[in-house]
Structure 1
Amino acid sequence: MLRGALAMVPLLVAVLADRPTAGVPAALGAMFAGINDRPGGRRSSVSRVGVPALAGAAGLLAGSLLPAAGPPGAGVFVLPVLLGALGLLAGALSATGPVASACGTQLLVAAVIGAGMPLPESGGERALLFLAGAGWALSLRLVLPSHRRTGGPFRYDGEREAVAGVYAAVAGLLSAAGGPEAPARRAALTAALDQAQDALSGPRLRRYASSAAERRLHARYAAALPLAEAATALAWAGEVLPGRVAEGPRRLAHAVRTGSACGPLPAPVRSGAGLRALDDALLAAADAFDRRDGQSLRTVRGRPGLGPPLRRALGPAGREYGVRVALCCGVSAAVALALEHEHWYWMPATAVFLVKPDLGPLVSRVLSRAAGTVVGAAVFAGFAGAAGLSAVVAGPLPAVVAVALCGALIPVAARHFAAQTAVVTVLVLCLVVLAGEPQAAWGRVVESLTACAIVLLVGHLPLPGRRGHGVREAVDTAVAAGHRYLRHVLARPQDGPGRGVLRRDAYRSLAAARAALDLSAAELPPVAGHTAGFEAVAGALERLVDTTTACAVHLGDRAAGLPPSHAERLAAQLADLEAAHRASARSGVLV
C-alpha cells in the first residue's frame, strides 16, 4: 500500500510544475504497475511489471496515431476497425501466458486511451511519461524493504518466503497423508513449487547465481524437490504417518524464513521405499543447509509455459480469444463513437478488461464490474462535491491526494474484481479532471453498463467451429507432459535430475489445466457445456501422474523393484485415461 501511494509521486511533481496533463500518463503507468505487481520475488517482478509497461507505452504511442489514419471525418468508421485489428493481435498474444496476457491488455487499453483522451502531449511524450510512471513504481518494488524482515538480504525476501512455502507445503502434505485433505494438500504443494520456481526465475536468479545468498536459495529449492516427490508418494499410498515425519520439513521451512540453522531433523523409520526416500531427501537437505556457499545443489528447472508462445498465439485458443477481443473492442468503440459520447474511449477500455477470462467467469466479472463502477462513481461524485467547495484554494491537489489514496488501495482491492473496479473508477475519474476534461461520473456508469452488455453478448455469441480451445489446449499439454514423465520413469528410473524436470512439468501443466477447467465450469451452461467432458480426462491424468511419482520412488529405491500392484494400477489408469479421451471424442468435446 505504501508503494502504491508513493507511485503517484510523478503525478504530484507534474502538478507542482503546473503540467498536470503530463502527470496523467505517468499515473496510468504507475496504476497498471500496481495492478500487475503480485506477491513474490523482487527480481521476477521486473518481467511481471516491466514487460507489460513496455507494451502499454507502445499502445499509447500507437493509439495517439490512430485518429490521423484514414480520410478526414471518417474516424467513426476507421477507428473501430483499427482498434478491432489491434484487439485481434492483443487477444492472440494474451493466450500465450500470464505476462503476455498483461501485455496484451495494456497494449490495447493504452491504445484506446491514446486515441480518445485529449492530451496536449505528443504520442512520444505520452509513451515516455507512461514508462516513467511504471519505472518509478517498479523501482519502489525493487528498492523498498518489506515490512516483515527475515534472515538474509532483504532483496531476497520474496524468494526466501516462496522457498520456505515449499517446505511448509511438504510438511502439510505429510500431515494430511491418509486423510480426506490429502488431495488438496498435494495441490497446495504444486502451487507452492510453481510460485518458488517463478520467484527464482527472475533476472540474475539463474543456475549460476551472482551471490552466496542466491546460491543458497537455489540449493535449498533443489533440496525440496526430492522431499516433495517422497511426500507425494507417501500420500498416494494412503497411509496415516506419524507426526514426527512432518517435523523435519517444518523445521527446514523455519530455517529458510529466518536464516537460522535447521538443527537436528527427526528421521522417519526406514520401513518402506517412500519413507527411505523421505529420509534420504532429509539428509540431502540437511547437507544443503549446512553448506553456506550454496554450491552443493543446482536448481532443477521445469518448463513453466504451456507450449511455444508463437504456436499458441496462432493456434485455435489464440484465434478464438483474439476474435472475441476484437469484436468486443471494435463494437464498443463503434457504438460509443456513433452515440457521440464525450468520453467514448471508456467503453472499449471497459470491454477489454471485461473480456479477460483470467479475471473470473464472464457473468461474475460483468456483475462485479457494474457494481464496482456504480460504487466508484458514487464515491467520486461525493468527493467532487466536497472538494468543489474549496477548489479555488486547493486547485488540483485534492485530486492528486485522491489518486494517491487509490494507488494505496489497489493492492487490497485486487482481491476482488468489484473492489478493484471501484478503486480504479475513482482514480480514472480524478485523472480525467486533471487532464482538463469535464468530470462525468454518471456518464461512466452508463458507458460501463453498455460495455457490460456488449461483452455479455459477444462472450456467448456462437462462432464458427468449436469453443473451449484454451481448456482443450491446456488439457492436451498436461496429458502430453504426463506421458513424457511416465516414459522417463520407466525407461530411466535412476535419472533423478531428469525425472525432476519432467515431474515439475507434469504437475505444473496439470495445475494449469485444472485452473482452466474450474474457470470454464463456473461459466453459464452455453459456455461451460463445451468443456464439460474434460473433467474426466483431468481426473484420470491426475491419478496417473501421482501413481507415476509413487513408481519413481520405488524404482529409485536401492532395494525395491516396481511392485506388481503398482504396475497393475498404472495399466488400469492408462486405460482410464484412454477411455476418458474416447468418451470426450464421442461427445464432440475433444479432438
Structure 2
Amino acid sequence: MPLRTPRLAVPPWLAHALRAQRGPVPWSAVVRGTLAAGPLLLVAVLAGRPSAGVAAALGAMLAGINDRPGSRRTAVTRLGLPALAGACGLLAGTYAGLHVGAVALTVLLTGLGLLAGAVSAVGPVASGSGTQLLVAAAIGAGMPLPEPGWQRALFFLAGAGWLLVLRLALPTRAAATGGDYRFDGERDAVAAVYDAVAALLAGAGGADATARRARLTAALDHAQDALSGPRLRRYASSSAERRLHAQYAAALPLAEAATALAWAGDDVPARAARGPRRLAAAVRAGNHPGPLPAPARSAPALRALDDALLHAADAFDRGAGTPHPGKPARRRTAGALLRTVVGPGGREYGFRVALSFGAAVAVAQALHHTHWYGDHAHWYWLPATAVFLVKPDLGPLASRVLCRAAGTVLAAVLFAGLAALLPRPAGLVALVAVCGALIPVATRHFAAQTAVITVLVLALVMVGGEPPASWSRIGETLLACGIVLLVGHLPAPGQRGGTVRARLARAAHAADAYLGHVLGDGTADDRAGRWALRREAYRTLAEARTAIDLAAAELPALAKQSEGTDEVAAVLERLVDLTTACAVHLDDTGRLTSRHTERITGLLDELARLRERAGLRPSEIPDARQAPALSGRPVPRTGVERILPVRR
C-alpha cells in the first residue's frame, strides 16, 4: 500500500496573514479617496501653506481608513467621532510636546494610551476613535509643523470633514436602481437580509445551514446598524425612511421562521425561498414585490413562514405607512458602556495599549535625545506604528507584525524609487491622490494597507519640508514590531483573555434573557420584545465568536488562554437556535414537544460541563441546570407547566 506524504498544516497566525478579504471593488469609496487628501494638499500647496495641507491630508487619510461600506447615516458616526478624537489628540499632543519634557511627555502619553485602550473595548467606532486619538497625539508631539496646535486641529478636522461631506453628498452606483439616493446603503442592507433569509431556507436541510444562519445574523446586524444611525433630516423622517424601517421590521419574523426551519433540519420546498428573493429585489428597486408564492403549511415553522410572508407583503403594500410592529435597536446605556470600559476586557486592552504606546514613546524619546536620528527626528512614527500594531481587530498579533513589517519594507523601497523620479511637489501631490484612491481597496489586507499608508505618509513628510525618511521608517517599524510582540506576551494583571471572556459573558446573559422570555416570563403577544431579545442574543454571540476566532489564531502562548471558549460559544449558538424554534412552536401550538425539552436539558448540561473545562466563572457562564433559564432565575411553576409537556 503506497504511503501518503503528510500535508503540512499552515499555522493559524500565518494563514491569517496570507488571507485577504474578497469582494467587488468599492468604486464609490475609490472616487472619494481620490477627491480627498490629494486635492486638499494641492490647494494648500498652491496657497503657499503646504504644512496646513499636510494636517488636512492626514485627517482625510485617517478618515479614509474608516470609510467602509454602509449607509450614509452610520458614516456620520463612523467617520465623525474618530475625527473629533483625532483632533483632540493632535491638540493635546502639540501643546504637550512644546511645554513638557521627555519624561513628562512619556507619562502623559502613556496615560492617554491607557484611557484610549480601555475605551476601545466598547466597539469598532470607539476603537477607531482611540486609535486616531493616540496616532494624532504622537504626530502632534513630534511632527515639526509651523502652525499652532489649534490650527493643526482645525486643518485635521477640515480634512476629515471634507471626506465626510463627500460621503454624504456623492451618490453611489446603487443609487441608479431607483429611490432616494441618500438611503442606498440602507436599501442594500435591508435587501441583504431578505437574500440571507432566502439562502437559509434554500439550505435548511443541508450541511452548511449553520453557516448560512451566521450570514443571516451578520446581515441583520448590518441592517440594524444602518437604520439606527443619526437621521439625515432633523424632523419627521421621509417616506423612504419609514418604508425601510417597515421593510426591516417585516424581515424579523421571516428570519425567525427560517431559523426554526433550519434547526428542524428538514428540507424546505424550493418555492419557500422565492418569496424572500422577490422581497429583496423589491427593496433594491424601490417597488412592490408582486404576488409571493406561499409555502406549504404542514408544520409550525412553515405556517410561521407563511404568516411572516403575508405580513411582509402587507408592509410592502402599505409603502410608507405604519411599520410592521417591531422594536428599534437597543442602545447600550452609559452604565453599560462604563462597565465595558472598566471591565476585564477594557482593563486588559487598556494595559496592552498603554504599555506598548508608552514604551514606544520612551524608546523614541531616548533615541531622539541621543541624536541617533539626526536633527530632523521622526520619533513620532515609532509610537504611531505601535498603536496600529496593538489593535486586535486588525488580526492576530503575529499576523499583524508580519504584515506590518512586509508592507513597510515594500513601501519604503517603492517610495525611494518614486521620490528620485517624481517632480516636487506636483509628483508627490499626485502620489498622495493615488494612495488616497487605493486605501479603500488596501484595507482588505493589513500588509497592503500598511504599504499604501506608508507611501502616502512619506510623501506628506517631504511635501511638509522634511527630508526623505524611507530607510529610517523601516528601522522604526521593526523596532515597534519588537515592542508590541514583547508586550503582547507579557503576563497581564488579572485573568488573560479578558476580551474573549467579557464578550462570551455578554452573549451568555443575552441568551439567558432570550430563553427566559420564551420559556418563562414572556407573553405570547410580546413578539416585538422577543425579536429584540433574539437580535441581542445573536449579535452578542457573533461578537464573541469573532473574538474567539481571532484569539485562536494567535501564537500558541496566547491561543491557549482562550481554549475551550469556542465550544462554549457553539453550545450557546445551538441553544439560541433551539430557543427560536421553541418560540415558533409555542406560537403555533402553545406547548413544546419532548424533543424540544430534551434538547434544552441536554444543552444546559453540556454548557455546564464546558464551563468547568474552560475555567469560566459562574458569573461569566452561569450554571442553569435547575431551571429552564440560563441564570437559574426562578421561573413561575405555572408558566413551566403551561409550556412543557406533562410526563406521565
The answer to whether the superposition gives a TM-score over 0.5 is yes
**Is 1:221–1:299's contact at 8 Å kept on the other side of the alignment?**
no
Q: Is contact 2:97–2:140 with CA below 8 Å preserved after alignment? A: no
Separation (CA, whole Å) in 1 of partners of 2:413 and 2:77: 36
Alignment match, 1:93 = 119
1:203 Cα deviation (Å)?
A: 1.0
Instruction: Name which of 222, 243, 248 aligns with 1:221.
Output: 248
Instruction: Give 1:280-319 correspondences, 5 Å limit.
Output: 280-303=307-330, 308-319=336-347
Contact 1:4/1:409, CA 8 A, preserved across alignment: yes
Deviation by residue 1:506-565 (Cα, 9 ceiling, x = unmatched) = 0001101100100000001111111112122111111110000000001111x4521121
Rounded Cα–Cα distance in structure 1 between residues aligned with 2:198 and 2:319: 24
1:566 corresponds to which letter in structure 2? H
Deviation at 1:208, TM superposition (A): 8.8
**Per the alignment, in what secondary structure is the counterpart of residue 535 of structure 1?**
helix
Match of 1:519, SS state, is helix
Q: Aligned letter for 1:490?
A: L
Corresponding position: 1:114 with 2:144: no
- Cα distance in 2 for partners of 1:404, 1:373 equals 19
**Matched-pair contact (CA < 8 Å) for 2:249–2:323:** no
The equivalent position to 1:464 in structure 2, one of 493, 496, 506, is: 493
The one-letter amino acid of 1:49's match is L
What residue identity is the alignment partner of 1:215?
R
Distance 1:248 1:520, change over 3 A: same
C-alpha separation between the residues in 1 aligned to 2:186 and 2:150? Answer: 36
Aligned pairs (5 A) from 1:268-417: 268-303=295-330, 308-340=336-368, 341=373, 342-387=377-422, 391=423, 395-417=424-446
1:47 counterpart (60, 77, 88): 77
The 3 A distance-change label for structure 1 pair 141 and 399 is same
Amino acid at match of 2:542: A
From 503, 509, 518, the counterpart of 1:474: 503
2:10 corresponding residue in structure 1: none
Q: What secondary structure is seen at the aligned counterpart in 2 of 1:7? A: helix
**1:11 aligned to 2:59?**
no
- Cα distance in 1 for partners of 2:295, 2:233 equals 33
CA contact (8 A) 1:200 1:206 kept: no
- C-alpha contact (below 8 Å) 2:82/2:128 kept by paired residues: yes
What is the identity, as a one-letter code, of the residue corresponding to 2:564?
G
Conservation of the 8 A alpha-carbon contact between 2:275 and 2:309: yes
> Where in structure 2 are the equivalents of 1:508-523 lying within 5 Å?
508-523=539-554
- Cα distance in structure 1, aligned partners of 2:326 and 2:463: 49
* Partner Cα separation in structure 1 for residue 282 and residue 460 of structure 2: 47
Deviations 1:453-503 (A, max 9, x none): 111111111123221000000000000000100111123241210101000
Q: Is 2:552 aligned against 1:552?
A: no
> Which residue in 2 is equivalent to 1:582?
612
**How many angstroms apart in 1 are the aligned matches of 2:66 and 2:325?**
30
Q: Which moved more, 1:115-124 or 1:436-445?
A: 436-445
Secondary structure, aligned partner of 2:48:
coil
- Equivalent residue, structure 2, for 1:135: 161
Q: Which residue of 1 aligns with 2:455?
A: 426
**Measured at CA, do residues 522 and 208 of structure 1 come closer, stay the same or move farther in structure 2, by a change above 3 Å?**
farther
Does the 8 Å contact 2:311/2:324 carry over to 1? Answer: no
Q: Does 1:102 align with 2:128?
A: yes
Quick one: percent identity of the two aligned structures?
A: 64
Equivalent residues of 1:493, 1:552 under 8 A apart: no
Deviations 1:7-36 (A, max 9, x none): 122221111101100111100110111101
Partner of 2:61 in structure 1? 31
C-alpha contact (below 8 Å) 1:369/1:421 kept by paired residues: yes
State the secondary structure of the residue aligned to 1:436: coil
Alignment partner of 1:498 out of 529, 543, 546: 529
**Relative to structure 2, which stretch is displaced further, 322-331 or 490-499?**
490-499
- Asked if the contact 1:207/1:298 (under 8 Å) is kept, the reply is no
CA positional deviation for 1:209 = 5.4
What RMSD in Å do the two structures reach over aligned CA positions?
1.8
Q: CA deviation at 1:41?
A: 0.5
Q: Which structure 1 segments of 5+ residues have no match? A: none
The Cα shift of 1:264 comes to: 0.9
CA distance in 2, matches of 1:497, 1:586: 33
Secondary structure at 2:177 match in 1: coil
CA drift of 1:207 comes to: 13
Query: What letter matches 1:88 in structure 2?
Result: L
Counterpart Cα distance in 2 of 1:441 and 1:588: 53
1:420-464 deviations in whole A, cap 9, x for unaligned? Answer: 000000000011011111111111011101101111111111123
Amino acid in the other structure paired with 1:443: S
- Call closer, same or farther: CA 1:586–1:59 in 2, change over 3 Å: closer
Distance 2:495 2:336 in 1: 22
Gaps of 5+ in 2: 1-29, 622-648
* 1:79 to partner: Cα distance: 2.1
Does residue 527 of structure 1 match 2:558?
A: yes
Q: What number of residue pairs does the alignment pair up?
A: 580
Match in the other structure for 2:269: 242
Instruction: Give the secondary structure class of the aligned counterpart of 1:518.
Output: helix
**What TM-score do you get using the length of structure 2 for normalisation?**
0.87
* Whole-angstrom distance in 2 between the partners of 1:95 and 1:198: 18
CA positional deviation for 1:69: 3.8
8 Å contact 1:255–1:262 — kept in the other structure?
yes
Q: Distance in 1 between matches of 2:612 and 2:316?
A: 49
What amino acid maps onto 1:417 in structure 2? Answer: F
Residue 43 of structure 1: SS of its match in structure 2? helix
Measured in 2, the distance between the counterparts of 1:200 and 1:571 equals: 37
Q: Following TM superposition, by how much is the alpha carbon of 1:91 offset from its aligned partner in structure 2, in angstroms?
A: 0.5
Letter in 1 for 2:396: P
